Structure 1
Amino acid sequence: MSVAILQFLGTNCEYDMEYAFSLLGVKSQIVWHQQRALPKDTKLVVIPGGFSYGDYLRSGAIARFSPIMRCVIDFANKGGYVLGVCNGFQILLESGLLPGAMKHNENLQFISKNVSLEVVDTHNIFLKNFKIKEVINIPIAHAEGNYYIHQEQLGQLEANGQILLKYTQNINGSLEKIAGICNENKNVFGLMPHPERAVEEVLGNTAGLKMLEGFLEVL
């Protein structure tokens, strides 16, 4: 086992993520959120997109308390790699594994479209196959993707190379157009765009697969 893909009530991208890793020849296992342990030999935990608990309270706020998240937090704190996509990013923010918070999109509407992203930092395993300032296209689908963080913490993100991706156009109101970040140790990654939806040419491009390919080093 290499990749553990979490599944909550309302998750809807777990099978897309499983398929994406299969294209890389990587075995993955979908893990129900009530489990109290990650599969043996897990090298990467992926928290995929969807609407955990229907986003009824605040996106990711309830999922953060699921039993499996205790394992994920411990896994990450010991240096394990974690990737959160869309709702998964929101869960990582709620759990404290990544700094900042998500607000409703500035226009208060759900946005589902392909967007252009600028690669900001490549000194990490996730984006090591890209070049700084490279522009890529990845789909988004969210209502709460308006990233916010206090100015002092924003300075820390910039100084530590934790800002990974920015929208070329600020489609949701995110501070500094931020679309993806990582933690200071660069083993926990979160982004609102969906790389698993850009893994074959029939889907438009394979930039998302190139992102996931970065993890092959540890899988």
Structure 2
Amino acid sequence: MRIGVLTFPGSLDDVDAARAVRLAGGAPVPLWHGDHDLKDVDAVVLPGGFSYGDYLRAGAIAARSPLMQDVVTAARQGLPVLGICNGFQVLCEAGLLPGALTRNSHLHFRNRDQVLQVERADTAWTADYAAGQRIVIPVKNGEGRYVGSPADLDRLEGENRVVFRYVDGNPNGSSRDIAGVASENGRVVGLMPHPEHAVEDLTGPSTDGLGFFTSILKAVVNA
């Protein structure tokens, strides 16, 4: 399976995401923000970093890049997309996911290992987890506070689109401890923590992040 990893100016974790895809058994395919070519990939990962230096708003410029136009069109036709940290910001700015990511409530950058609770294990990116499972994934962000109007948050909850919640402390003040959300069809998922940094015992706090990448390979096969 060919999993595209999109690189913007300022991306930091594209190589890590590609490695995670490879460890899961997939074939990572590099994608460049300025192209109009998805290279016939089966899914796309938008990695973490500081695309375009986080000017205007984090993810705002990247969301309007040439290749993101193609990603948006393909995602609306069912292409699975995962947005990690800055990638989550890009997905919200592009309108593929609801809500917005703003400055952390305490106005400090947070970098730590974070416990998450899996709320949904039936998306394209979470099928190798169990609902209610707790996993440890690193978090590192300065603009990771997920916000939305009370009505929008109620709708997300009612539609069961909250995929992850922070446990044992909320690192950024996100509304209702939300760490990640999904599109209506569960094919597009965004989260602030970094699963690509939890795929090997040698370097990660756990291997809990590998499930994202094994899940999508199975989802592609079963599509």
CA–CA distance in 2 between the matches of 1:211 and 1:28? 14
Partner residue of 2:87? 88
With the length of structure 2 as denominator, give the TM-score of the two structures: 0.95
2:114 match: secondary structure: strand
CA–CA distance in 2 between the matches of 1:72 and 1:172? 28
1:38 pairs with 2:35: no
Structure 1 residues 11-41: Cα deviation after superposition (integer angstroms, max 9, x where no partner): 010000111111122111111100012112x
Deviation at 1:70, TM superposition (A): 0.5
Matches within 5 A, 1:35-184: 35-40=35-40, 42-168=41-167, 169-184=169-184
CA–CA distance in 2 between the matches of 1:55 and 1:162? 26
CA–CA distance in 1 between the matches of 2:156 and 2:213? 22
Supply the AA of the counterpart residue of 2:216: F
Supply the AA of the counterpart residue of 1:97: L
Deviation at 1:58, TM superposition (A): 0.8
Deviation at 1:204, TM superposition (A): 2.3
Partner residue of 1:215? 216
Deviation at 1:212, TM superposition (A): 1.6
Unaligned stretches of 5+ residues in structure 1 = none
With the length of structure 1 as denominator, give the TM-score of the two structures: 0.96
Counting matched residue pairs gives: 218
Unaligned stretches of 5+ residues in structure 2 = none
Supply the AA of the counterpart residue of 2:172: N
Partner residue of 1:23? 23
CA–CA distance in 2 between the matches of 1:123 and 1:55? 32
Q: Which runs of 4+ in 1 moved over 4 A?
A: none
1:196 pairs with 2:199: no
Partner residue of 1:186? 186
CA–CA distance in 2 between the matches of 1:25 and 1:164? 24
2:4 match: secondary structure: strand
Contact 2:121–2:129 (Cα < 8 Å) also in 1? yes
Which segment drifts farther, 204-213 or 61-70? 204-213
**% identity of equivalent residues:** 41
Partner residue of 1:14? 14
Deviation at 1:156, TM superposition (A): 1.7
Deviation at 1:60, TM superposition (A): 0.2
Alpha-carbon RMSD across the aligned residues, in angstroms, is: 1.1
1:50 match: secondary structure: coil
Supply the AA of the counterpart residue of 2:116: L
